[in-house]
Protein backbone atom coordinates (compact mmCIF):
# COMPACT_ATOMS: atom_id res chain seq x y z
CA UNK A 1 0.00 0.00 0.00
CA UNK A 2 2.84 2.40 0.85
CA UNK A 3 4.41 1.67 -2.52
CA UNK A 4 1.10 2.35 -4.27
CA UNK A 5 0.62 5.67 -2.51
CA UNK A 6 4.03 6.85 -3.72
CA UNK A 7 3.41 6.04 -7.39
CA UNK A 8 2.94 8.71 -10.03
CA UNK A 9 -0.34 7.07 -11.09
CA UNK A 10 -1.84 7.54 -7.62
CA UNK A 11 -0.83 11.19 -7.59
CA UNK A 12 -2.49 11.75 -10.98
CA UNK A 13 -5.61 9.96 -9.75
CA UNK A 14 -5.78 12.26 -6.72
CA UNK A 15 -5.46 15.32 -8.93
CA UNK A 16 -8.23 14.02 -11.22
CA UNK A 17 -10.51 13.44 -8.21
CA UNK A 18 -9.78 16.85 -6.68
CA UNK A 19 -10.16 18.70 -9.99
CA UNK A 20 -13.41 16.87 -10.77
CA UNK A 21 -14.80 17.79 -7.36
CA UNK A 22 -13.95 21.48 -7.80
CA UNK A 23 -15.41 21.64 -11.32
CA UNK A 24 -18.50 19.73 -10.21
CA UNK A 25 -19.14 22.21 -7.41
CA UNK A 26 -18.81 25.13 -9.84
CA UNK A 27 -20.88 23.47 -12.57
CA UNK A 28 -23.04 20.49 -11.46
CA UNK A 29 -23.48 19.42 -15.10
CA UNK A 30 -19.98 17.96 -14.90
CA UNK A 31 -21.26 15.12 -12.69
CA UNK A 32 -23.93 13.92 -15.12
CA UNK A 33 -23.69 10.59 -16.96
CA UNK A 34 -23.90 12.46 -20.27
CA UNK A 35 -20.85 14.53 -19.32
CA UNK A 36 -18.98 11.35 -18.39
CA UNK A 37 -19.82 9.75 -21.74
CA UNK A 38 -18.66 12.89 -23.56
CA UNK A 39 -15.41 12.86 -21.58
CA UNK A 40 -14.78 9.22 -22.49
CA UNK A 41 -15.58 9.88 -26.14
CA UNK A 42 -13.23 12.86 -26.35
CA UNK A 43 -10.47 10.89 -24.59
CA UNK A 44 -10.61 7.65 -26.59
CA UNK A 45 -8.70 8.73 -29.68
CA UNK A 46 -6.04 10.52 -27.66
CA UNK A 47 -5.60 7.46 -25.45
CA UNK A 48 -4.96 5.34 -28.55
CA UNK A 49 -2.44 7.92 -29.78
CA UNK A 50 -0.81 7.90 -26.34
CA UNK A 51 -0.65 4.08 -26.48
CA UNK A 52 1.14 4.45 -29.83
CA UNK A 53 3.68 6.83 -28.31
CA UNK A 54 4.20 5.07 -24.95
CA UNK A 55 6.58 2.28 -26.11
CA UNK A 56 8.67 4.82 -28.01
CA UNK A 57 9.05 6.97 -24.87
CA UNK A 58 9.88 3.93 -22.73
CA UNK A 59 12.50 3.00 -25.34
CA UNK A 60 14.10 6.40 -24.71
CA UNK A 61 12.90 8.36 -27.73
CA UNK A 62 10.63 11.32 -28.37
CA UNK A 63 8.62 10.92 -31.58
CA UNK A 64 6.42 13.68 -32.97
CA UNK A 65 5.61 12.14 -36.35
CA UNK A 66 2.82 9.85 -35.13
CA UNK A 67 0.15 12.49 -35.80
CA UNK A 68 1.33 12.93 -39.39
CA UNK A 69 1.28 9.14 -39.81
CA UNK A 70 -2.30 9.12 -38.52
CA UNK A 71 -3.22 11.80 -41.04
CA UNK A 72 -1.61 10.21 -44.09
CA UNK A 73 -2.91 6.74 -43.20
CA UNK A 74 -6.53 7.82 -42.71
CA UNK A 75 -6.74 10.38 -45.51
CA UNK A 76 -5.01 8.30 -48.19
CA UNK A 77 -7.13 5.28 -47.29
CA UNK A 78 -10.31 7.31 -47.58
CA UNK A 79 -9.42 8.98 -50.86
CA UNK A 80 -8.38 5.64 -52.38
CA UNK A 81 -11.64 3.90 -51.37
CA UNK A 82 -13.88 6.82 -52.32
CA UNK A 83 -12.29 6.99 -55.77
CA UNK A 84 -13.28 3.34 -56.27
CA UNK A 85 -16.87 3.78 -55.12
CA UNK A 86 -16.53 1.91 -51.84
CA UNK A 87 -19.73 1.94 -49.75
CA UNK A 88 -18.86 -0.52 -46.98
CA UNK A 89 -17.99 -0.09 -43.33
CA UNK A 90 -14.85 0.83 -41.43
CA UNK A 91 -13.27 -2.64 -41.34
CA UNK A 92 -11.52 -2.15 -44.70
CA UNK A 93 -10.54 1.36 -43.55
CA UNK A 94 -8.91 -0.09 -40.45
CA UNK A 95 -7.01 -2.75 -42.40
CA UNK A 96 -5.66 -0.29 -44.96
CA UNK A 97 -5.05 2.53 -42.49
CA UNK A 98 -3.16 0.29 -40.05
CA UNK A 99 -1.09 -1.19 -42.88
CA UNK A 100 -0.09 2.24 -44.18
CA UNK A 101 0.64 3.41 -40.64
CA UNK A 102 2.75 0.34 -39.87
CA UNK A 103 4.82 0.87 -43.03
CA UNK A 104 5.33 4.55 -42.19
CA UNK A 105 6.42 3.60 -38.69
CA UNK A 106 8.76 0.96 -40.11
CA UNK A 107 10.38 3.66 -42.24
CA UNK A 108 11.10 5.69 -39.09
CA UNK A 109 12.58 2.65 -37.42
CA UNK A 110 14.77 1.72 -40.39
CA UNK A 111 16.19 5.24 -40.69
CA UNK A 112 16.90 5.39 -36.95
CA UNK A 113 18.56 1.98 -36.69
CA UNK A 114 20.44 2.10 -40.00
CA UNK A 115 22.00 5.53 -39.58
CA UNK A 116 22.07 5.59 -35.74
CA UNK A 117 20.07 8.81 -35.60
CA UNK A 118 18.09 10.36 -32.77
CA UNK A 119 14.37 9.54 -32.71
CA UNK A 120 13.34 13.18 -32.43
CA UNK A 121 15.44 14.28 -35.41
CA UNK A 122 14.02 11.57 -37.67
CA UNK A 123 10.44 12.12 -36.52
CA UNK A 124 10.72 15.86 -37.12
CA UNK A 125 11.75 15.17 -40.70
CA UNK A 126 9.14 12.46 -41.36
CA UNK A 127 6.35 14.51 -39.81
CA UNK A 128 7.04 17.30 -42.28
CA UNK A 129 7.44 14.81 -45.10
CA UNK A 130 4.14 12.98 -44.50
CA UNK A 131 2.05 16.14 -44.14
CA UNK A 132 3.70 17.53 -47.27
CA UNK A 133 3.17 14.26 -49.16
CA UNK A 134 -0.51 14.18 -48.23
CA UNK A 135 -1.17 17.79 -49.23
CA UNK A 136 0.75 17.62 -52.50
CA UNK A 137 -0.05 14.15 -53.84
CA UNK A 138 -3.40 13.19 -52.30
CA UNK A 139 -5.43 16.28 -51.44
CA UNK A 140 -5.39 19.58 -49.59
CA UNK A 141 -8.99 19.85 -48.38
CA UNK A 142 -11.19 17.91 -45.98
CA UNK A 143 -13.44 15.33 -47.63
CA UNK A 144 -16.99 14.91 -46.29
CA UNK A 145 -18.09 12.29 -48.85
CA UNK A 146 -18.61 9.36 -46.48
CA UNK A 147 -19.39 5.79 -47.65
CA UNK A 148 -22.83 4.55 -46.65
CA UNK A 149 -21.37 2.04 -44.19
CA UNK A 150 -19.38 4.75 -42.38
CA UNK A 151 -22.06 7.45 -42.10
CA UNK A 152 -23.53 6.27 -38.79
CA UNK A 153 -20.26 5.43 -37.07
CA UNK A 154 -20.15 8.64 -35.00
CA UNK A 155 -23.38 7.55 -33.26
CA UNK A 156 -22.48 3.88 -32.74
CA UNK A 157 -23.12 3.71 -29.01
CA UNK A 158 -22.82 0.85 -26.53
CA UNK A 159 -25.32 2.61 -24.26
CA UNK A 160 -27.23 5.89 -24.49
CA UNK A 161 -28.58 8.47 -22.07
CA UNK A 162 -30.80 11.52 -22.49
CA UNK A 163 -29.70 14.74 -20.87
CA UNK A 164 -31.62 18.02 -20.57
CA UNK A 165 -28.64 20.05 -21.74
CA UNK A 166 -26.86 17.87 -24.32
CA UNK A 167 -29.79 15.76 -25.49
CA UNK A 168 -29.14 12.11 -26.42
CA UNK A 169 -25.55 11.02 -26.02
CA UNK A 170 -23.88 7.69 -25.42
CA UNK A 171 -20.86 5.59 -24.61
CA UNK A 172 -19.19 5.22 -28.00
CA UNK A 173 -18.05 1.86 -29.36
CA UNK A 174 -14.48 3.19 -29.60
CA UNK A 175 -14.29 2.63 -25.83
CA UNK A 176 -14.04 -1.09 -26.59
CA UNK A 177 -11.03 -0.41 -28.82
CA UNK A 178 -9.30 1.44 -25.99
CA UNK A 179 -9.89 -1.40 -23.53
CA UNK A 180 -8.70 -4.11 -25.93
CA UNK A 181 -5.60 -2.18 -27.04
CA UNK A 182 -4.80 -1.17 -23.46
CA UNK A 183 -5.01 -4.76 -22.14
CA UNK A 184 -2.88 -6.05 -25.01
CA UNK A 185 -0.26 -3.32 -24.57
CA UNK A 186 -0.13 -3.94 -20.80
CA UNK A 187 0.41 -7.67 -21.39
CA UNK A 188 2.95 -7.02 -24.14
CA UNK A 189 5.08 -4.65 -22.06
CA UNK A 190 4.87 -6.67 -18.84
CA UNK A 191 5.00 -10.31 -19.89
CA UNK A 192 6.83 -10.60 -23.22
CA UNK A 193 10.59 -10.65 -23.75
CA UNK A 194 10.29 -7.81 -26.27
CA UNK A 195 8.35 -5.72 -23.75
CA UNK A 196 11.03 -6.28 -21.12
CA UNK A 197 13.62 -5.41 -23.73
CA UNK A 198 11.91 -2.06 -24.35
CA UNK A 199 12.28 -1.14 -20.67
CA UNK A 200 15.85 -2.45 -20.59
CA UNK A 201 16.93 -0.46 -23.65
CA UNK A 202 15.27 2.67 -22.27
CA UNK A 203 17.05 2.18 -18.95
CA UNK A 204 20.51 1.48 -20.35
CA UNK A 205 21.08 0.51 -24.01
CA UNK A 206 24.63 -0.76 -23.44
CA UNK A 207 23.63 -3.06 -20.59
CA UNK A 208 20.57 -4.25 -22.54
CA UNK A 209 22.73 -5.16 -25.54
CA UNK A 210 25.23 -7.03 -23.37
CA UNK A 211 22.32 -8.86 -21.76
CA UNK A 212 21.33 -10.20 -25.16
CA UNK A 213 18.49 -7.97 -26.32
CA UNK A 214 18.42 -7.27 -30.06
CA UNK A 215 18.16 -3.47 -30.05
CA UNK A 216 17.55 -3.10 -33.78
CA UNK A 217 14.77 -5.71 -33.86
CA UNK A 218 13.02 -4.29 -30.79
CA UNK A 219 13.29 -0.73 -32.11
CA UNK A 220 11.71 -1.75 -35.42
CA UNK A 221 8.85 -3.53 -33.63
CA UNK A 222 8.21 -0.47 -31.44
CA UNK A 223 7.97 1.86 -34.44
CA UNK A 224 5.78 -0.54 -36.42
CA UNK A 225 3.41 -0.63 -33.42
CA UNK A 226 3.53 3.15 -33.19
CA UNK A 227 2.60 3.54 -36.86
CA UNK A 228 -0.11 0.87 -36.73
CA UNK A 229 -1.86 2.40 -33.70
CA UNK A 230 -1.49 5.91 -35.14
CA UNK A 231 -3.20 4.81 -38.36
CA UNK A 232 -5.94 3.17 -36.31
CA UNK A 233 -6.46 6.36 -34.28
CA UNK A 234 -6.63 8.42 -37.47
CA UNK A 235 -9.45 6.26 -38.85
CA UNK A 236 -11.39 6.41 -35.56
CA UNK A 237 -11.08 10.20 -35.29
CA UNK A 238 -12.13 10.74 -38.90
CA UNK A 239 -15.15 8.48 -38.42
CA UNK A 240 -16.16 10.37 -35.29
CA UNK A 241 -15.77 13.79 -36.93
CA UNK A 242 -17.46 12.60 -40.15
CA UNK A 243 -14.73 13.95 -42.42
CA UNK A 244 -11.22 12.98 -43.47
CA UNK A 245 -8.69 15.76 -43.03
CA UNK A 246 -5.20 15.85 -44.62
CA UNK A 247 -3.88 17.83 -41.64
CA UNK A 248 -5.54 15.68 -38.97
CA UNK A 249 -4.17 16.18 -35.42
CA UNK A 250 -1.71 18.84 -36.55
CA UNK A 251 -0.31 20.59 -33.47
CA UNK A 252 -1.56 17.88 -31.08
CA UNK A 253 1.64 15.84 -30.82
CA UNK A 254 3.03 17.75 -27.85
CA UNK A 255 -0.30 17.50 -26.04
CA UNK A 256 -0.25 13.71 -26.39
CA UNK A 257 3.39 13.59 -25.32
CA UNK A 258 2.53 15.71 -22.28
CA UNK A 259 -0.19 13.22 -21.33
CA UNK A 260 2.26 10.32 -21.54
CA UNK A 261 4.83 12.15 -19.38
CA UNK A 262 2.19 13.25 -16.86
CA UNK A 263 1.15 9.59 -16.68
CA UNK A 264 4.58 8.66 -15.34
CA UNK A 265 6.68 7.85 -18.41
CA UNK A 266 10.27 9.09 -18.17
CA UNK A 267 11.30 11.35 -21.03
CA UNK A 268 14.75 9.70 -21.03
CA UNK A 269 13.25 6.21 -21.17
CA UNK A 270 12.99 3.11 -19.00
CA UNK A 271 9.72 3.93 -17.27
CA UNK A 272 6.03 4.14 -18.18
CA UNK A 273 2.75 2.27 -17.68
CA UNK A 274 -0.52 1.80 -19.53
CA UNK A 275 -2.64 2.85 -16.55
CA UNK A 276 -0.57 5.98 -16.04
CA UNK A 277 -0.91 6.87 -19.71
CA UNK A 278 -4.70 6.56 -19.56
CA UNK A 279 -4.82 8.72 -16.43
CA UNK A 280 -2.55 11.30 -18.05
CA UNK A 281 -4.87 11.65 -21.05
CA UNK A 282 -7.95 11.80 -18.83
CA UNK A 283 -6.36 14.53 -16.71
CA UNK A 284 -5.52 16.69 -19.73
CA UNK A 285 -9.04 16.21 -21.12
CA UNK A 286 -10.61 17.13 -17.77
CA UNK A 287 -8.46 20.26 -17.61
CA UNK A 288 -9.70 21.33 -21.04
CA UNK A 289 -13.34 20.62 -20.14
CA UNK A 290 -12.95 22.28 -16.74
CA UNK A 291 -11.73 25.51 -18.29
CA UNK A 292 -14.74 25.50 -20.63
CA UNK A 293 -17.30 24.65 -17.94
CA UNK A 294 -15.89 27.27 -15.57
CA UNK A 295 -15.85 29.84 -18.41
CA UNK A 296 -12.08 30.36 -18.23
CA UNK A 297 -10.63 31.49 -21.61
CA UNK A 298 -9.41 28.62 -23.78
CA UNK A 299 -6.03 30.32 -24.16
CA UNK A 300 -5.21 29.18 -20.63
CA UNK A 301 -5.49 25.48 -21.54
CA UNK A 302 -1.96 25.02 -22.85
CA UNK A 303 -0.56 27.17 -20.04
CA UNK A 304 -2.16 24.99 -17.35
CA UNK A 305 -1.16 21.73 -19.06
CA UNK A 306 2.39 23.03 -19.50
CA UNK A 307 2.56 23.98 -15.82
CA UNK A 308 1.38 20.51 -14.76
CA UNK A 309 3.91 18.95 -17.16
CA UNK A 310 6.72 20.90 -15.49
CA UNK A 311 5.59 19.61 -12.09
CA UNK A 312 5.36 15.99 -13.21
CA UNK A 313 8.73 16.20 -14.94
CA UNK A 314 10.35 17.70 -11.85
CA UNK A 315 8.96 15.16 -9.34
CA UNK A 316 10.80 12.10 -10.77
CA UNK A 317 13.99 14.14 -11.11
CA UNK A 318 13.80 15.16 -7.44
CA UNK A 319 13.16 11.54 -6.41
CA UNK A 320 16.15 10.31 -8.42
CA UNK A 321 18.43 12.93 -6.84
CA UNK A 322 17.27 11.85 -3.38
CA UNK A 323 17.96 8.21 -4.23
CA UNK A 324 21.41 9.11 -5.55
CA UNK A 325 22.11 11.08 -2.36
CA UNK A 326 20.98 8.16 -0.21
CA UNK A 327 23.14 5.82 -2.31
CA UNK A 328 26.22 8.01 -1.92
CA UNK A 329 25.61 8.28 1.83
CA UNK A 330 25.28 4.51 2.12
CA UNK A 331 28.49 3.96 0.15
CA UNK A 332 30.28 6.46 2.40
CA UNK A 333 29.08 4.72 5.56
CA UNK A 334 30.10 1.32 4.23
CA UNK A 335 33.53 2.63 3.27
CA UNK A 336 33.96 4.17 6.74
CA UNK A 337 32.98 0.90 8.43
CA UNK A 338 35.45 -1.06 6.30
CA UNK A 339 38.24 1.32 7.25
Q: With contact defined as beta carbons under 8 Å apart, do 97 and 232 qualify? A: yes
Q: Give the model confidence (pLDDT) of 287-315 as tens digits.
A: 888 877 767 776 677 787 778 778 777 77
- pLDDT 10s digits, 45-91: 999 999 999 999 999 999 999 999 999 999 999 999 999 999 999 99
- Whether 326 is in a domain gets the answer no
Instruction: Determine, yes or no, domain membership for 179.
Output: yes
Domain that holds residue 64: 2-298
> How many domains is the chain partitioned into structurally?
1
Instruction: Report if residue 322 sits inside a domain.
Output: no
Which uninterrupted H or E stretch holds 328?
Answer: helix 300-338
pTM of the model: 0.93
Q: 221-270, pLDDT tens digit by residue?
A: 999 999 999 999 999 999 999 999 999 999 899 889 999 999 999 888 99
Alpha-carbon distances of 292 from 23, 33, 63, 125, 189, rounded to whole Å: 10, 18, 30, 35, 36
| Helix pair 274-293, 33-59: axis angle to 10 deg | 130
Q: For the domain that residue 70 is a member of, what is the CATH number? A: 1.10.3470
Q: Based on C-alpha coordinates, what's the Rg of the chain? A: 22
- Is 275 part of a structural domain of the chain? yes
- Interatomic CA distance for residues 162 and 144, integer angstroms: 28
Amino acid sequence: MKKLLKTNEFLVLLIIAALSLVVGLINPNFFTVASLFDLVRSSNVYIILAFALLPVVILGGVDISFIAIAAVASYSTHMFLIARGYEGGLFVYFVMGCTIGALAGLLNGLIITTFKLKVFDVSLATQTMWYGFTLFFIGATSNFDMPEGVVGYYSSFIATVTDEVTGVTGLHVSTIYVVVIGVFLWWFLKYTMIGRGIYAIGGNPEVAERTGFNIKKITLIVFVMMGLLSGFAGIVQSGLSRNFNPTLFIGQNLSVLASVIIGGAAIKGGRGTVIGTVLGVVLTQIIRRALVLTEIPAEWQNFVIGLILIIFTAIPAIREKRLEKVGRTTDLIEATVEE
